[in-house]
Structure 1
């Protein structure tokens, strides 16, 4: 039984035999009762605002074209923002930081004394026998 429709009575619709056979096959594929399948189809048409007489193909194509136009518009806006706002702002910020950057002076840790080759810096003191 269909949930929510258990207490409703059945009505008879007059449709052609070939259409009834085709509709029953459709309902079996959908795993729905005939009432629920028909209700789903009616809801689909009402929700999407289309008529069974209309072809869905051109509507989808026009919708796709409209979306592409809008995406291209958004891309154009983003390129314009980048060109006229972002790049000049970045350039100004970089110029400010370059001017304010302090000169780096090397830290003075110890004084380096150049050592000449073959120069003896320390010598051993020679002891005489008297000093010991």
Structure 2
């Protein structure tokens, strides 16, 4: 049973035998009932504004080419922005940070040359007495 359509009654439509066979095969491929398949087809045509009499081949190919051109245009714009704006800005920022980088100064308490000094006072050994 089709969900949401359980309470609706069936109507009959007269369709040629060859068309019905083809339609039923198509319904089996979609794994849908005949009513739901027909509903999906109608909604597709209405949503996309397509007439079954129109050919989709050249029309879809033209749209595909147009989309590819626009995508290529966007890619070119992004590359230009990267080349002319992003990379120079990053380079300037890096040079600013390198110059502003604080130089390491030794701590006040730190002594570089620590010499071992002789103590001013020595302990007397017992022998020296």
Q: Shorter chain as normaliser: what TM range?
A: 0.5 to 0.7
Number of corresponding residues: 123
Distance change (3 Å), C-alpha of 1:28 and 1:91: closer
TM-score when scaled to structure 1? 0.66
d(CA) in 2 for partners of 1:91, 1:126: 74
Q: What root-mean-square deviation, in Å, do the aligned CA atoms of Structure 1 and Structure 2 show?
A: 3.2
1:18 Cα shift? 1.5
Q: Deviations over 1:56-105 (max 9, x none)?
A: 33333333322222221222221222222222222332332233333323
Where does 1:5-44 land on structure 2 (aligned, <5 Å)? 6-13=7-14, 15-44=15-44
Partner of 2:50: 50
Where does 1:1-132 land on structure 2 (aligned, <5 Å)? 1-2=1-2, 3-4=4-5, 6-13=7-14, 15-107=15-107, 109-110=110-111, 111-113=113-115, 127-128=127-128, 131=129
List gaps (5 residues or longer) in structure 2. none
